[in-house]
Homo-oligomer: A and B are copies of this chain.
């Protein structure tokens, strides 16, 4: 069989790959057919396998598999694998590019800026949907629903979230207290047995929030953390950690995803409390 039977361009998507696979699969000699079959049955493992592994699985020598890749239109296995690795790529973590876009837009009109922020928000929301830890979310709802008074704490950039949560809890008649640092007052003595803390902070993490969470944790209260990464210092003292993959531009974080998650939490807690009341 000639490698260049057709004017070949390498498939650039999983769909195109599959299409070409079915197109060529009849009329293939024995060993190559074995490759095709095994690959077809294990498309989702291509990204994480080596030539040797796939070849063994297909019960052919590595060289046969190489030939197969070439027949598919790629220069070799590496090129083919690259396509699969990129195809499963998550939507956004192209941090650098986005930042550049925003900077360029910053010098433009307000409308251009708006478009950027809207886009950042949309991407954050999509990525939130893809990455939410459902188990952690359920645990968090459960913990907060069982508690007496909820203590919501979040300062600086997290304060808008905290204040919205306080507002929503109030609307739903869930006893909640918003901890701010007005007058540098410290409200930690307000924590009582049976209460729970909902702490929100993002890098650079604010001391006060972490301290309050730690205090509560030390005293045996439930602590739910809403933060940006699992490695956040908040994770230390939390019984449930919810992370939000927000696209972050220094001070200019869109907060869309964070708000959506916070709101979900609040409403779910409210509903859960009604059920069990």
- Report A's interface with B, CB cutoff 8 A: 18, 21-22, 25-26, 33, 36-37, 40-45, 47-49, 85, 87-93, 95, 98-99, 102, 105-111, 113-115, 117-118, 121-122, 125-126, 128-132, 134, 137-138, 141, 156-157, 159-161, 163-164, 167-168, 171-172, 182, 229-231, 233, 235-236, 241, 245, 250-252, 254-257, 259-261, 263-268, 271
- What's the Cα separation between A263 and B110 when bound, in Å? 10
A110 to B167, Cβ gap below 8 A? no
Contact A259 B255 (CB under 8 A): yes
Residues of B close to A36: CB separation below 8 A: 231
9 more CB-based (< 8 A) A-B contacts, given A167-B251, A256-B259: A47-B88, A95-B126, A102-B129, A113-B268, A114-B128, A159-B163, A252-B263, A254-B256, A256-B260
Residue of B nearest to A251 (CB): B171
Give Cα distance in the complex from A74 to B21, angstroms. 38
Our pick among B33, B115, B134 for the contact of A129 (Cβ within 8 Å) is B115
Are A113 and B252 closer than 8 Å at their CB atoms?
A: no
Contact status of A99 and B182, CB under 8 A, knowing A33-B231, A256-B121: no
Q: State A128–B113 Cα separation when bound (angstroms).
A: 13
Q: Which residues of B contact A40 (CB under 8 A)?
A: 229-231
User: Who on chain B is nearest to A43 by CB?
Assistant: B90
Shortest Cβ distance from residue A94 to the other chain B in the assembled complex, whole angstroms: 8
Q: Are A130 and B163 in contact, with the CB atoms below 8 A?
A: no
User: Given that A88-B48, A263-B254 are contacting pairs, would A110 and B95 also be in contact in the complex, using a CB cutoff of 8 Å?
Assistant: no
CB distance from A270 to the nearest CB of B (A): 9
Minimal beta-carbon separation of A9 from chain B (angstroms): 20
Nearest Cβ on chain B to A262's Cβ, whole angstroms: 9
Given the complex, which residues of B lie within 8 Å of A245, measured CB to CB?
A: 41
A67–B111 Cα gap in the complex (Å)?
A: 46
Complex: A99 Cα to B90 Cα, angstroms: 15
